Chains A and B, each alone.
Chain A
Amino acid sequence: MSGNSSYNPTGAVEKWFDERLPIIRFSKEHLMDFPTPKNINYWWTFGAVLAFILVVQIITGIVLAMHYVPNSELAFDSVEAIRRDVNYGRIIQATHAVGASMFFAAVYIHIFRGLYYGSYKAPREILWILGVLIFVLMMATAFMGYVLPWGQMSFWAATVITNIFAAIPIIGDPILALLRGGFAVDNATLNRFFSLHYLLPFILAAVVGLHIWALHVPGNNNPVGVEVKSSHDTLPFHPYFTMKDLFVIVVFLIPFSWFVFFAPDILGHPDNYIPADPLLTPPHIVPEWYFLPFYAILRAIDFDMLFISSKLGGVIFFGGSIIVLFFVPWLDGSKVRSGNFRPLFRPFYWLFVLNFLMLTYLGAQVAEGIYVLLSKVGTAYYFAYFLIILPIVSRIETPAPLPASISESVLGKAEASGEKG
């Protein structure tokens, strides 16, 4: 980790400063000189994209909080006032709302990249666990943010999701009242959600800091999954990866801007333009698209299992679908990281991707007929992938031969040994 820095303070002031607070040394070491595998592909740029979106969300969020009123009587109108009257308000509000979707789009790519290339395997288990924690924090933040405009979908999302806690035996109802600060979702709920929605992103940013720290201990994984063996395998982070990441960030901004400027409401639901009405449930409640796979899992359990009611069962599977991610490093026992060298793993992985997309689609459909059956199949495969397929495949699979080093995979055997010599 250390020793990569080529920082040589010149001059007395720099030296004096460096001895007391080596922040320039630290930055140079971790933002510029950090040795990064030269073969990492474009799927690896989404970490930087995510960091960028987090900054965008925090800045636009702070701006919106200058105009937003967290009061159940005024919240809806205050959001509309932002859109109508605040200078550039329509754009800033749309950026924040679309930004949440973009955040999840990028994080799903980031997660699925990790799942394919085995980025969760030793020595990167903590890195992975911190990543799952970030995902959980993102979901909580996004959910509470969605409640703030206080439209019909906001209100009923808050009602339905807080009701999940009522499924817990015995203490469920007191917990529900505690979370809502009332007997139903109301002004108190809105106020605490606003407070927490403002707080959580900063906790999230702190965990991102740990995530990057944990990344910089072993360094990046890479598409062949072979550890860095020599300096021939790496390039300094700057300018090679800073510029590559910036390029991708700019490209990513194109669809982002497309939605912000030309279709700002398409990712949301029209019902959220109806002010919250506690006496009238919309005919068809759907969460934002990024929650749909998990919502499908929640709804798939519509049957009692022994003494577990279907309600509690749904909640257990819903929670379990996230919790299982924490254990992936130990469920997949294969020593080979990259899916590129795992012929038996690959088809199961791609089926998992398809299955996840199917669950996304199913989460938005009315829970009846064939959709219910498909949701159950999808849920079963989701869990089977982690709990059965990954452990078994890693035992019976014969992986393809790995290259000896990153350089070898890039240059071919002969050239690599030549370069070494």
Chain B
Amino acid sequence: MASEAATETTRRDFLYVATGAVGAVGVGAAVWPLIDQMNPDASVRALASIEFDLAPVGVGESFTITWRGQPIFVRHRTEAEIAEARAVPMEDLKDPETDLERVVEGKEQWLIMIGICTHLGCVPLGQKPSDAKGEYNGWFCPCHGSHYDIAGRIRKGPAPKNLVLPPITFLSDTIVKVG
């Protein structure tokens, strides 16, 4: 008698536990889409990487494109600018990085950076010929006076880091993929 009652209990418990577990799986599966819908949607993901052609940009010219809602600074540097950037001694830098670390080898004339000041997120000046370029002939953030050099490195002012580099790949001589 007693053992019969015991089996009965286990079987019932098993049914309850199993049903509860299956139900919990169902609730979880239903909740996930409700969370995942907040992730970037397909139209946003489609623009996660963009391609552009550098060919129209002459030596000594800059232009700005938008990538993931942020400005990307592109500068076609002159030989003099490259030399200037390479000549800077490491001990002068707040965030030491050589110029070669900031460009693609063999494409040193192309400097491609995210144009957002590493201090508090303003967009620095220096892209247009008429812009203030700061004391180091690069970019200047007017919000709190950060000066960047011609390699986009922070030289003076409150910004803690050099201008951030986006992930880039050269698909051909002049076609660049960002992202």
Contacts and interface: CB of A to CB of B under 8 A. Distances in A.
Given A81-B41, A81-B43, A87 B36 contact: yes
A84 B45 CA distance: 13
Tell me whether chain B's interface is mostly helix, strand or loop, or mixed: helix
B79 to A, nearest CB: 46
A89 interface: yes
A66 interface: yes
A127 interface: no
B37 A63 contact: yes
A68 B98 CA distance: 48
B42 A88 contact: no
Interface string B29-70: 000011011110111100000000000000000000000000
Candidate in B33, B38, B39, B43 with the most chain A CB atoms within 10 angstroms: B33
Tell me whether chain A's interface is mostly helix, strand or loop, or mixed: helix
B109 to A, nearest CB: 38
Interface in A52-68: 59-60, 63, 66-67
A84 B42 CA distance: 8
Given A81-B43, A85-B43, A92 B34 contact: yes
Contacts of A66: 37-38
Contacts of A130: none
For the side of the interface on B, what is the size category?
A: 10 to 19
Contacts of B43: 81, 85
Contacts of B41: 67, 81, 85-87, 89
Contacts of B37: 63, 66-67, 86-89, 92
Contacts of B39: 87
A88 B38 contact: no
A63 B41 CA distance: 13
B72 to A, nearest CB: 24
Given A81-B41, A81-B43, A87 B34 contact: no
Nearest to A60: B34
Contact of B42 (A59, A63, A85, A91): A85
A92 B33 CA distance: 8
A238 to B, nearest CB: 13
Interface string B99-127: 00000000000000000000000000000
B36 A63 contact: no
A50 to B, nearest CB: 18
Nearest to B43: A85
A66 B36 CA distance: 12
A67 B38 CA distance: 9
Interface in A87-117: 87-89, 91-92
Contacts of A92: 33-34, 37
B24 to A, nearest CB: 13
B21 to A, nearest CB: 15
A84 B34 CA distance: 16
A381 B34 CA distance: 46
Nearest to A87: B36
A87 B38 CA distance: 8
Interface string A66-82: 11000000000000010
Nearest to A91: B33
Contacts of B34: 59-60, 63, 88, 92
Nearest to B36: A87
A29 to B, nearest CB: 24
Interface in B133-165: none
Contacts of B44: 85
A284 B6 CA distance: 67
A91 B36 CA distance: 12
Contacts of A67: 37, 41
Candidate in B36, B41, B44 with the most chain A CB atoms within 10 angstroms: B41
Contacts of A60: 34
A89 B39 CA distance: 11
Contact of B36 (A59, A85, A88): A88
Candidate in A86, A88, A89, A92 with the most chain B CB atoms within 10 angstroms: A86
Nearest to A59: B34
Contacts of A85: 41-44
Contacts of B33: 87-88, 91-92
B134 to A, nearest CB: 41
A91 B32 CA distance: 12
Interface string B8-42: 00000000000000000000000001101111011
Contacts of A87: 33, 36-37, 39, 41-42
A85 B36 CA distance: 12
A365 to B, nearest CB: 38
A91 B33 CA distance: 9
A67 B36 CA distance: 13
Contacts of B36: 87-88
Contacts of B42: 84-87
A91 B29 CA distance: 13
Contacts of A81: 41, 43
16 contacts: A59-B34, A60-B34, A63-B37, A66-B37, A81-B41, A84-B42, A85-B41, A85-B42, A86-B42, A87-B36, A87-B41, A87-B42, A88-B33, A89-B41, A92-B33, A92-B34
Closest 3 CB pairs of A and B: A88-B33, A85-B42, A85-B41
Interface of B: 33-34, 36-39, 41-44
Given A66-B38, A87-B37, A89-B41, 18 more contacts: A59-B34, A60-B34, A63-B34, A63-B37, A67-B37, A67-B41, A81-B43, A84-B42, A85-B42, A85-B44, A86-B37, A86-B41, A87-B33, A87-B36, A89-B37, A91-B33, A92-B33, A92-B37
